[in-house]
């Protein structure tokens, strides 16, 4: 019988300072309510994070999920900071893969060479692997993590508004909705303390909004307002959407682009209508949540 007073293990990690609480829950036993997610992510009354990654076996998820490939034993059940469920998180899936390897939940060679990891997400199963020698590092535990993000679909135009300014942008589907706006306005001048305006007819379920500079010398800078979170230091799917919009702005459909975000930098490769995202994934802490605190948030 489980001890009702036993603490609930957690890990804390980030990808380019887009940070997450990871909750190991192999058998799907945790009741992860929106109230608990909001409390966990609150930087004053909880641990503080942009989202929660529940580490659960796909077979124990308890709900049908389309697009899962055979071999995707582990599922990244991702929740935004406001408690809502999101389809995919590019930074999160890299941190998730780092945890699977460190915790010994996959084989020692997983993610190396041809032995790529498969991670289940609501945006479909994602292939993940480790890139040795990134930025001159040779240590395997510091290797950057790459993820095949799948199809990137560019749509028509829409407009975001910030403090009365209008920013034309392109609709981008990376498994979740984005509006990527290339602009010459200095990014530091944008007030993203409140949600930018957008057309709900184009985005009935909300949208992640990126503001980015025109590409120069293979690079662009980006700020992002994430649906259900607010402005974050980075957004993996957002960097892919930004790269796709920047390349279109330059008259190209494919190529490599370094995307600089407030939390660091990632590399996005677009080829054949699909994207690969490569960047750091760091685990920084481990501990236990108080069982009493967890029970107090059952609503």
- Give the separation between CA 94 and CA 46, rounded to whole angstroms: 23
Rounded to whole angstroms, the Cα distance separating 62 from 46 reads 27
C-alpha 252 chain-centroid distance: 25
Task: For residue 51, give the 3-state DSSP assignment.
Answer: strand
Q: Could you check whether 8-150+281-296 and 153-272 share the same CATH topology? A: yes
The pLDDT-based confidence of 136 (bands split at 50, 70, 90) is very low
Q: Record the pTM.
A: 0.91
Confidence bin at 135 (pLDDT 50/70/90) = very low
Q: What is the pLDDT of residues 75-124, one digit of tens each?
A: 999 999 999 998 899 999 999 999 999 999 997 667 776 678 999 999 89
pLDDT on residue 299: 61
Q: Using one digit for the tens of pLDDT, what is the confidence trace for 198-241?
A: 999 999 999 999 999 999 999 999 999 999 999 999 999 999 99
Task: In whole angstroms, give the CA distance from residue 21 to residue 90.
Answer: 15
89 catalytic? Reply is: yes
| Domain boundaries along the sequence of the chain | 8-150+281-296, 153-272
Which residue is it, tokens 């641990």?
47
pLDDT at 63: 82
CATH number at 8-150+281-296 = 3.10.310.10
Mean predicted confidence (pLDDT) in 253-264: 97
Check whether 141 has a pLDDT greater than 60: no
> Residues 21, 52, 81, 89: which is the catalytic one?
89
Give residue 143's pLDDT band: very low, low, confident or very high (50, 70, 90): confident
For residues 151 and 215, give the distance between their C-alpha atoms in angstroms, rounded to a whole number: 21
Instruction: Please check whether the domain covering 153-272 is classified as CATH 3.10.310.10.
Output: yes
Among 32, 100, 235, 241, the one annotated catalytic: 235
Would strands 208-212 and 177-182 be described as parallel, antiparallel, or unpaired?
Answer: parallel
Confidence class for position 139, pLDDT limits 50, 70, 90: very low
Q: How confident is the model at residue 142 (pLDDT cuts 50, 70, 90)?
A: low
pLDDT band for position 4 (cuts 50, 70, 90): low
């Amino acid at each position: 019988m489980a001890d009702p007073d036993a603490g609930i293990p957690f890990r804390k990690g980030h990808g380019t300072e887009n940070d997450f609480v990871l909750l190991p829950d192999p058998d799907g036993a945790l009741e992860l309510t929106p109230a608990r997610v909001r409390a966990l992510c609150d930087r004053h009354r909880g641990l503080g994070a942009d989202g929660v990654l529940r580490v659960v076996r796909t077979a124990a998820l308890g709900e049908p999920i389309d697009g899962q490939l055979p071999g995707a034993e582990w599922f990244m059940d991702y929740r935004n900071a406001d408690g809502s469920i999101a389809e995919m998180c590019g930074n999160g899936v890299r941190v998730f893969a780092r945890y699977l390897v460190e915790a010994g939940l996959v084989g020692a060679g997983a993610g190396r060479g041809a032995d790529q990891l498969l991670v289940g997400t609501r945006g479909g199963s994602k292939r993940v692997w480790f890139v040795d020698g990134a930025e001159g590092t040779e240590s395997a535990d510091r290797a950057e993590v790459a993820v095949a993000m799948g199809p990137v679909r560019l749509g028509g135009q829409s407009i975001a508004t910030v403090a009365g300014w209008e920013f034309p942008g392109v609709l981008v589907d990376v498994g979740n909705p984005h509006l990527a706006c290339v602009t010459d306005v200095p990014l530091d001048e944008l007030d993203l303390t409140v949600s930018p305006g957008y057309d709900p007819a184009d985005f009935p379920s909300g949208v992640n909004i990126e503001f980015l500079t025109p590409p120069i010398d293979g690079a662009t800078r980006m700020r992002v307002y994430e649906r259900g979170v607010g402005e974050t230091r980075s957004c993996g799917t957002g960097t892919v959407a930004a790269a796709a919009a920047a390349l279109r702005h330059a008259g190209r459909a494919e190529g490599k682009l370094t995307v600089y975000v407030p939390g660091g930098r990632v590399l996005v490769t677009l080829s054949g209508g699909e994207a690969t995202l490569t960047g750091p994934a760091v685990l920084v802490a481990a501990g236990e949540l108080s069982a009493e605190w967890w029970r107090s948030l059952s609503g």
